[in-house]
Structure 1
């Protein structure tokens, strides 16, 4: 085998922090993983090599197999190890920010781009049903404003969605908030019956099971250290290589963490942002149901936001707080518990046995970053914390494009993205300063 001396880099600071943050995951504690897939050893071939066994990569693999293409999936850790298996579990319509779409695309294409996210939710539901994935899916999502000014902005936004995209959500007036959520924190809100929430790791593992059943090969503990470009790319790990016609790079913030410059031309447009979650001890069902009447997912509208939901076993899962420096907050469990008690002070008696976190990839404009390099290397990144449903659609769009139907992929690949200023050394301080400004605005 050519170039067998290649080795993965030593764990970077990002990867070391990620290893620490996985330890307290409620999701990992509540699943039974199958026997791991073996690493890749030796040379193999495929029509498509997918880098990353998270939701985007697995979705691409499943759709490529449905189109008759042979597929190898290379995963540096284990299936769903990254953001796909550690996120807040909220499957939502729309993008992290609609500005990138609305500022760069004409109105008709902006409507098509919005519809992609609606279709993403429908796709997620179809896959759960088609592959019998037990992932605790619950319909419903509440977007809540913490004061009158933010309530007015939320009202205007929902009116715009109905006017421009035909997407209807139910307004919640200040006097009606108590009928939806037992908290004094919120002024008003809206209810979206189409969005919802689920156990993301259960879903990811179920999707991997479907990918294997479809005939794709998954290799775990197989970090990619080099992609040799050309008419027939070669994707290399430390112990093997895949010769293929197409590559789908779905490694997000980890893509360049294992090998030197696996994808240097796209990595500078995203940066890792830490986000953190806790899960309480179990409650009686009656107490849990009283917190959020419809058991919907909930998120406030602050720039540095809180998000929370009830789990199937009646815990409150509460996420919020971000780290733009990459450093895990001191006393993570207690700091997150204080955020939770600011919303639900009546939970002060509950213990918090689980606290974890991880890194999501964000772009400068918070819009998704999909595209292709050299015609046969596709990349899917920039979900900006809004990817549970959109990752599935991203994989489908990449598969469509590879199979010759690139219309929807090319629609989103029109979105232009800037590199974070200053390179790796300066992009974090610059973003921290910007975030401090928005935090001050959240207090108003």
Structure 2
């Protein structure tokens, strides 16, 4: 196949140079993962806040979460096309600026205040994060040795988890802690003046977020990020027609693996507080239950650091299989146990979920060569699976909250199937070539 030969040649010509250090680039990229994890989890603070400000029904409140994940579905393929046109570095800068624009739009929405404008601006922020995801994830995969790609992505994804840990504290202090609705007893009726004041409490935190994003965009625009190498370069149209994403089993089964995993992750996070607050589980207030949710996110961070180290020595697919078995076991304990045992088993699933997204992503784009950008776009689009958390909500209403976690257990089994069989590459073009030590020419 001509394209395979040309890609291999390119990879040989542009292999890693002696003495090249990728640490500074990975450190900078880790800050991106931190920021989008941080901003995503601020939503968990916004949901009760906006429900109070706009006097929303539960349907209107859950629409906020759905709009966020729908953005991944809508923006992923356009993001991949944009990366093909302007390159990775400019796309990273564009993603940060789109997020900054959405954050400033949230300040506008709070000033009006407007539920509709809020939904639109959250969609804008999520679209910017989608562009970062499509650009940054594959970049981390190919910026070094293919053998340690999963280890690298788990390492920087650990910074994403660090952001998810700190965001609830930030939101609780600067949003809930500065609002009447956030500090009043449940059921307190707010006056129109109090609702307006509460809405405006969002202005300061989102102003700080917008400023941080703009500063980071300037730094990345001026940073000499290494180029990805020509093994992953976009092919001419006539050669591209000979290739198909659907010939790669690891991608074909990887897209539903990401989709199904997100159902599990978001379902656990959204229903955690309600579950552990039950009298037969831990009998906690929502406030105290929220503190235990921080431990769950912390487990994800610890698991990613540990997974990064483990994958330096062991095959990524085998590690994924072990973690998926662990996740299945603790979810079954959650379903059939009670009291603190059920609570702590649900907390432990964060540890086992930790490596799933970055490892599935890395395995999914393995061997795609010049199709890497498009494959990355499909995998990020699959994050829209988080919007189907409503399915678990229906199961909880129909069959009981504890029984609804059987859906999560079923999701873990699909991840196990992917690790053992679905992730095996077919028709591999070439493993992504390590980046060369020169600036990305498309960003100059």
TM-score range, shorter chain: under 0.3
Q: Which has the higher contact order (CA 8 A, sep 6+)?
A: 2
Q: Normalization by structure 1: what TM-score?
A: 0.23
Larger proportion of helix: 2
Q: More strand per residue: 1 or 2?
A: 1
Q: TM-score, normalised by structure 2?
A: 0.23
